[in-house]
Amino acid sequence: MRRILYTLPALLFALAVAQPATAQYNSPSSDIVEVAAEAGTFNTLLAAAEAAGLVDVLKSEGPFTVFAPTDEAFAALPEGTVEGLLENPEALREILLYHVVAGKVMAAEVVGMDYAETVQGERVSISVYGETVRVNDAQVVTADVEASNGVIHVIDAVILPGSN
């Protein structure tokens, strides 16, 4: 296994992202689904969660850590991918569950990890390069968006099982 060194830039990143999220995401009394809906940048993710039958799960007690791709991340997928997945709830469910980790894992903990086990059953790799934290090939662009039942780390790409 690859070892991640806890460097000064990584610690600075953890401290910087551990500060309260921007007002766009700040709503720790709401559940993960409500926080995502309030943000207005996760419409595709929410539609996919609905199609895959995962909304009630993400509204449950948890806690969960969600690596949440933005609408822009979904738009970057090859044309027709999202539409095809919306028509295949089982495949969509597998992909979405690959973005979820059981428990509440804050950024300060994430930067000390080299992988996380997803509720889908596979691992995502976690790497730190200076001030950049990556989950597989996606970059964490906003961390520690707290919700009543967990935390969201916003990522800039959709991650796929078997891609780490």
Residue 101 domain flag: yes
Q: How far apart are CA 150 and CA 144, in angstroms?
A: 9
Confidence of residue 24 (pLDDT cuts 50, 70, 90): low
Q: Is the pLDDT of residue 119 over 50?
A: yes
Over pLDDT 90: what percentage of the chain?
A: 71
Burial of 101 (0-12, 13-18, 19+ CB in 10 A): buried
H/E segment holding residue 36: helix 32-39
Residues whose CB falls within 8 Å of the CB of residue 129, separated by 6 or more in sequence, listed in order? none
Tokens of 95: 């992909």
Residue 163 domain flag: no
What is the DSSP pairing of strand 138-147 with strand 150-155? Answer: antiparallel
| Domain count for the chain | 1
Residue 160 domain flag: no
Average per-residue pLDDT for the chain = 85
pLDDT value of residue 29: 77
Tokens of 126: 């976690």
The helix-helix angle for 89-97 and 43-51 (nearest 10°) equals: 120
Residue 162 domain flag: no
pLDDT value of residue 131: 85
Q: Is the pLDDT of residue 21 over 50?
A: no
Tokens of 22: 């921007």
Q: Where in the sequence is the domain holding 138, given as residue range(s)?
A: 8-155
Convert the pLDDT of each residue in 59-112 to its tens digit.
999 999 999 999 999 999 999 998 998 899 999 999 999 999 999 999 999 989
Residue 55 domain flag: yes
pLDDT value of residue 35: 95
Residue 2 domain flag: no
Choose between 32 and 162: higher pLDDT. Answer: 32
Cα angle value 132/137/139 (rounded, 5°): 35
Residue 1 domain flag: no
The values of phi and psi at residue 71, to 5°, are -60, -40
Q: Return the number of other C-beta atoms located less than 10 Å from residue 65's C-beta.
A: 24
Cα angle value 17/65/57 (rounded, 5°): 145
**CATH, residue 116:** 2.30.180.10
Residue 77 domain flag: yes
* Mean pLDDT, rounded, for 135-146: 95
pLDDT value of residue 4: 37
